[in-house]
Amino acid sequence: MKDYRPAPDLLQDRVILVTGAGSGIGRAVATAYAAHGATLVLLGPVLRELEATYDAIEQAGHPQPAIFEMDLAEAGPAEVHGMAASIGQHLGRLDGLVHNAALLPYLSRIDDYDPEDWERVLRINLTAPFLLTQACLPLLRQAPDASILFTTDKVGRRGRAYWGAYGVSKAGLDNLMQILADETEKDGRIRANAIDPGPVRSDLRIRIYPAQDPSTWAAPEDILGPYLFLMGPDSAGVTGRIWPPDGKMP
């Protein structure tokens, strides 16, 4: 994927919703999509971070994005359906959805895991992507070539000690993606895939691995190939896949 060279207009005139767009991978994905012609819907819980992404996109001369300040731990069906309706009303369409927002508060034994934290992690990492996807599916079905991407992690495919609710949520997210891909494959209008970006320099990883040198991890801007490929028309027909960090299709 490092050799992938997307066309400058790869995502021209597409409308794409990105969660966790205020920082890290989400911000990098959003700005890259805007640079390739897309109109972004930026979703996250911290308005000042979303505004920073908005300003970066606007100052670069890319299409003006929209902002939705939303705490996925608190948002229910009414809120996400209202957001989807607003996208339809003001932007007229939705061509892509990137589930990137995630919570990993700490590593812990199951013995010691706080039940409230468990519920919050599952709410943000798994339930919210389900609710957002369900709310956006009618809009996505109107697009000629829609793509839904989930950011995953290898601990979801092989459970590891201390990863708790985060590992469980990523396993569920992979399964949700595969179910969705299977349900939508026949009509060919919606593709669903997951991307495991590997170790990336982010606030989440720095907090979990404080003793490691962040400069040894990839920058968010260095792992965008799969996100561009799987969102654009070059990946037509590719669905139900989990893209690993080495960039080779399984």
Going residue by residue through the chain (250 aa), what tens digit of pLDDT does each one get? 667 899 999 999 999 999 999 999 999 999 999 999 999 999 999 999 999 999 999 999 999 999 999 999 999 999 999 999 999 999 999 999 999 999 999 999 999 999 999 999 999 999 999 999 999 999 999 999 999 999 999 999 899 999 999 999 999 999 999 999 999 998 889 999 999 998 777 777 777 777 777 777 788 898 999 999 999 999 999 999 999 855 454 4
Name the nearest CA neighbour of 205 among 157, 153, 243.
Answer: 153
- Residue 133 sits in a domain whose CATH number is 3.40.50.720
Show the domain range for 30.
15-243
Record the pTM: 0.94
What is the structure's pLDDT at 90? 95
185: number of CA atoms within 13 Å, CB side?
13
Q: Which two tokens stand for residue 105?
A: 């508060």
What is the structure's pLDDT at 1? 62
DSSP string, 180-225: HHHHHTTT-SEEEEEE---SB--HHHHHH-TTS-GGGSBPGGGS-H
Catalytic (active site) residue 227:
no
At 67 the three-state DSSP class reads strand
Q: How far is CA 42 from CA 114, 239, 246, 247, in A?
A: 31, 24, 28, 26
Position 190 in a domain? yes
What is the structure's pLDDT at 203? 74
Position 237 in a domain? yes
Helix, strand, coil abundance in the chain, percent, nearest 5: 45, 15, 40
**CA torsion, points 162, 200, 241, 137, in degrees to nearest 10?**
90
* Catalytic site residue from 33, 54, 162, 166: 166
What is the structure's pLDDT at 249? 47
Position 72 in a domain? yes
Position 3 in a domain? no
Q: Which two tokens stand for residue 112?
A: 């010691």
Q: Count of domains in the chain?
A: 1
Position 90 in a domain? yes
Position 1 in a domain? no
What is the structure's pLDDT at 245? 57
Position 231 in a domain? yes
Distance CA 240, CA 36 (A): 24
Position 4 in a domain? no
